[in-house]
Amino acid sequence: MKNLMETTRMATLALAAMGALALPSLAQAQDASEIDANGDGVMTLDEVQAVFEEVTADSFSAADENKDGALDDAEMVAAQEAGILPAPMAD
Ligand SMILES: [Ca+2]
Ligand SMILES: [Ca+2]
């Protein structure tokens, strides 16, 4: 009985490890979805400030290139590369 439980535990760990290895390309999207709290695909000032308290309305509007009041992924990446917004913390 103990061996069965041990085998099951090892299999679960192995699957978890495989899952982590299979998803490296999603790391960028995962960062964006952590900021996009309501999952509508864009990040509002409130959502950005919930993650980056230091972001001001001014820097947000500087990042919002099409002035629609929200940041899409491209605007977020461009703003982070330009140093307007802080980059997501690496794990
Ligand atoms: Ca959102
Ligand atoms: Ca925008």
Q: Distance, CA 18 to ligand 2 centroid (Å)? A: 36
The alpha carbon of 37 and the centre of ligand 1 are apart by a number of angstroms equal to 6
Question: Is 4 inside any structural domain?
Answer: no
Which ligand ends up closest to the CA of 60? Answer: 2
For the chain, the average pLDDT equals 83
Q: Which domain holds residue 34?
A: 25-85
pLDDT at 7 over 60: yes
Determine the Cα–Cα distance for residues 56 and 70; give it in Å rounded to an integer.
14
| Average pLDDT of span 8-21 | 71
**Residue 69 Rama label (left phi>0; alpha psi -120 to 50; beta):** left
pLDDT tens figures, 23-45:
544 444 446 678 999 999 999 99
Residue at 40 is within a domain: yes
Task: Pull the structure tokens for residue 57.
Answer: 């309305």
pLDDT at 17 exceeding the cut of 80: no
The total of structural domains in the chain comes to 1
Q: Which ligand is nearest to the CA of 41?
A: 1
CATH (domain of 68)? 1.10.238.10
Distance 54 CA to ligand 1 centre (A): 18
CA pair distance 70, 38, nearest whole angstrom: 13
